[in-house]
Amino acid sequence: MKIKTKLVAGIAFLFALFVIIGGLGAYFIKLLSDESDQIIEDNYESVEYTKAMTQALDEMKRYHTEFFFSPNQDSLTNQVREQMLRQAIVVFEKNLKNEEDNITESGEKELVLSLRSNYTHLLQLTQSATNRSTPSDYYFNEIIPQYKDLQKDIYQISEVNLRAIDRKNNSAQATAQKVLSYISVIGVVAFIVYFTFFLNFPGYIANPIQELSHSIRLLANKNYQQRLHFTSNDEFGEVASAFNSMAEKLDEYENSNLAKILFDKKRLDTVINNMRDAIIGLDENLRILFINQEATKLMVVNSEEVTGKYAPDIALTNDLMRNLIQDLVTDATSESQTPLKIVVDNKESYFTKDIIDVVFVRTGETNSRKIGYVIVLKNITHFQELNVAKTNFIATISHELKTPISSINLSLKLLEDDRIGSINEEQKHMIDNIKADTQRLLKITRELLDLTQVETGNIQLHFRATKPQEIIDYAYEALKAQIEQKDIQIEIIADYSLPELYIDREKTAWVMINLLSNAIRYSSKQSKIIIRATEENKTVVFSVQDFGKGIDKVYQEKIFERYFRIPEQSNGSLGTGLGLAISKEFITAQGGKIWVESEPEQGSIFMFTIPVTLV
């Protein structure tokens, strides 16, 4: 769209805005006028009719009063009276007819019908008055009550219309208030739109010119990276395209690869030095390429002294460097995630070590090669302190829970003792449920205590010579009741000639019990579980195989993390998510490994190894 077209569109927009405001104002004024006309046409006319009928009724009543109480008048007077009566009757009937044609309100029709009926009855009464022997009594007993009924009907018709006038007047006032509000809102909105248009539309034309002038000045100062980003298809877009093309040509002549490389290196050095994590860069030959300020602070060295030096040489006199490059020198991968404890500013701080391989693929090649390493130390002191506080809290709570749980167990044993008193079947069932819940609480408490040992690194191991068969038998006997309850067939495949292991018997048996308990939990009734113990590569491999739902590969590593529970299997499960995590720590502490092999709907095999070399 050309600039001229944009100007015309802007002016047309303002004109359309004024037309819309004028049209809405005329519409609302017409709305108020229509409501006022409706009040005058419908209800004021009915009120005027009732006034005329009231006056005519008064004339008729005066005639009948004089007729009954002053009958002996001269003929001229009587003629005048009759003439006035006929005029009053004509006026009354005319206005009554008009009212019958102008019924607009609810209940008005019934009142008009009553008025017509009472009026007809009045005429009948007055016509038969001359035949009465006692005209005065007839007047008071018949005529006067009929007049009162007519006056009452006229009054009620008038009241109905007056109330309608009041209601419609209020409605008109409310409409007027709404119209005023609408016009005010429309006016404010129109003002905002107009003001916004007034502020922005000139800028829509002027801003591109200002930006173009600014970019030209930058280009004159050799800032050849400057570009104009006009997306419009008008004259400004054409100017921007020509300007960008010119700037690109100038940039090609100005910049060189060397200048760009030096600039990028300086920028990278600045970023690394301003990072809060300690970072050390090594080439493929373990020479130090860079070291940021945080790392020099931890190692107590100057960056100029160590940059370009062989890292193992520095490690001879620097314990921290020796620890950091130990895995690189031995070409081993450490599985331990134990934080590094470093004294900084006379305070113990904890850091995690992460070694990142720097891989490079040459242009035109597909194979990558390692060109260096980046060692990152992240300060986790705050999180470590929180973890210690959490561990101490769990340990305290677990110790405090053991006493009341033991007391509950003692009370349950006393309740089951016949010497205390007999109990019925329902009470026995309740005691069994309490006992089961108490055992579960006790199990959770023990797991939490074991967890505190694991987290603090204070796992107390009591090694002694133990036959592998003893571990299996101990676990089987401990869970025999659960096995019989689900009618599960246990198949034990273990050679009695397996070598003895020098292990912590209780903790290893705890691991076997945990694995077998999980297998029982996720096995159906009358199913089968296989327990194996075999010797492979100077280790004894224990395994527990079930034929349950199995475990998806996504979760096979996560299940050994603390508090993790498989989502689709956790509903209704009573586990804490600690058993496998504690089992892993117990086995790892004894030099072994633990893992799982599983396929969905085909069951799982949990295995752990104990080195025979520890015998």
Does residue 208 belong to any structural domain of this protein? no
Same domain, 469 and 608: yes
Residue 225 has what pLDDT? 73
Tell me the pLDDT band of 615, cut-offs 50, 70 and 90: very low
CATH code of residue 481: 3.30.565.10
Structure tokens that stand for 115 in this block: 């008025």
What is the mean predicted confidence (pLDDT) over 47-66? Answer: 82
Does residue 206 belong to any structural domain of this protein? no
Does residue 213 belong to any structural domain of this protein? no
Residue 55 has what pLDDT? 86
Residue 533 has what pLDDT? 95
What is the mean predicted confidence (pLDDT) over 23-48? Answer: 69
Q: Report whether pLDDT(514) > 50.
A: yes
Residue 515 has what pLDDT? 95
Same domain, 358 and 496: no
What is the mean predicted confidence (pLDDT) over 142-163? Answer: 83
- Asked whether the beta carbons of 447 and 402 are under 8 A apart, the reply is no
Same domain, 233 and 283: no
N- to C-terminal Cα separation, the chain: 89
Same domain, 355 and 284: yes
Residue 61's CB is within 10 A of a number of other CB atoms, namely 18
pLDDT tens for residues 415-439?
Answer: 777 777 778 888 888 888 787 777 7
Give the CA-trace dihedral at 155, 156, 161, 165, to 10 degrees.
80
Structure tokens that stand for 190 in this block: 């129109």
CATH code of residue 343: 3.30.450.20
Highest mean pLDDT among 23-32, 450-459, 522-531: 522-531
Q: Report whether pLDDT(469) > 70.
A: yes
The mean pLDDT value of the chain amounts to: 80
Q: Report whether pLDDT(352) > 80.
A: yes
What is the mean predicted confidence (pLDDT) over 197-216? Answer: 74
Same domain, 242 and 267: no
Asked whether the whole model's pTM tops 0.75, one would answer no
With residue 115 as reference, give the H or E element that holds it: helix 108-127
What is the mean predicted confidence (pLDDT) over 391-405? Answer: 67
- Residue that finishes a domain, picked among 399, 429, 452: 452
- 468: left (phi > 0), else alpha (psi -120 to 50), else beta? alpha
Residue 105 has what pLDDT? 81
Q: Which of 59-63, 224-228, 412-416, 455-459 is predicted with the least confidence, judged by mean pLDDT?
A: 455-459
Residue 8 has what pLDDT? 72
Tell me the pLDDT band of 447, cut-offs 50, 70 and 90: low
Q: How far apart are CA 583 and CA 451, in angstroms?
A: 10
pLDDT > 90: what percent of the chain?
A: 16
Same domain, 247 and 267: no
- Asked whether the beta carbons of 490 and 529 are under 8 A apart, the reply is yes
Q: How far apart are CA 146 and CA 132, in angstroms?
A: 17
Q: How far apart are CA 313 and CA 114, in angstroms?
A: 123
Who's near 594: CB < 8 A, 6+ residues apart? 511, 560, 580, 583, 584, 587, 588, 606, 607, 608, 609
Q: Report whether pLDDT(181) > 50.
A: yes
Does residue 211 belong to any structural domain of this protein? no
β partners of residue 501: 466
In one letter, which amino acid is 197? F
Does residue 207 belong to any structural domain of this protein? no
Same domain, 475 and 584: yes
Taking alpha carbons only, the member of 350, 348, 355, 327 closest to residue 340 is 350
What is the mean predicted confidence (pLDDT) over 272-280? Answer: 85
Does residue 216 belong to any structural domain of this protein? no
Q: Report whether pLDDT(358) > 50.
A: yes
Taking alpha carbons only, the member of 86, 89, 85 closest to residue 53 is 89
Q: How far apart are CA 615 and CA 608, in angstroms?
A: 17
Q: Please, which contacts does 459-465 make with residues 24 or more away whose CB atoms are closer than 8 Å?
A: 459/507, 459/585, 459/586, 459/589, 461/504, 461/507, 461/589, 461/590, 462/504, 462/505, 462/506, 463/502, 463/503, 463/504, 463/614, 464/502, 464/503, 464/504, 464/505, 465/500, 465/501, 465/502, 465/615
Same domain, 340 and 438: no
Highest mean pLDDT among 86-100, 158-172, 285-299, 345-359: 285-299
Tell me the pLDDT band of 528, cut-offs 50, 70 and 90: very high
Same domain, 21 and 162: yes
Residue 571 has what pLDDT? 46
What is the mean predicted confidence (pLDDT) over 542-551? Answer: 94
Same domain, 371 and 423: no
Domain of residue 280: give its range. Answer: 260-379
Residue 198 has what pLDDT? 73
At 334, give phi and psi (nearest 5°).
-85, 130
Of residues 448 and 21, the one with the higher pLDDT is 21
Q: Report whether pLDDT(251) > 80.
A: no
Tell me the pLDDT band of 520, cut-offs 50, 70 and 90: very high
What is the mean predicted confidence (pLDDT) over 254-263? Answer: 66
pLDDT tens for residues 570-609?
Answer: 544 556 677 898 899 889 989 899 999 999 889 999 999 9
Same domain, 311 and 230: no
- Residue that finishes a domain, picked among 192, 211, 241: 192
Tell me the pLDDT band of 204, cut-offs 50, 70 and 90: low
The number of distinct structural domains making up the chain is 5
What is the mean predicted confidence (pLDDT) over 123-149? Answer: 72
Same domain, 483 and 528: yes
Structure tokens that stand for 611 in this block: 């080195």
Q: Report whether pLDDT(39) > 60.
A: no
What is the mean predicted confidence (pLDDT) over 115-130? Answer: 77
Q: Report whether pLDDT(125) > 90.
A: no
Q: Report whether pLDDT(478) > 50.
A: yes
Q: Report whether pLDDT(80) > 80.
A: no
Q: Report whether pLDDT(21) > 80.
A: no
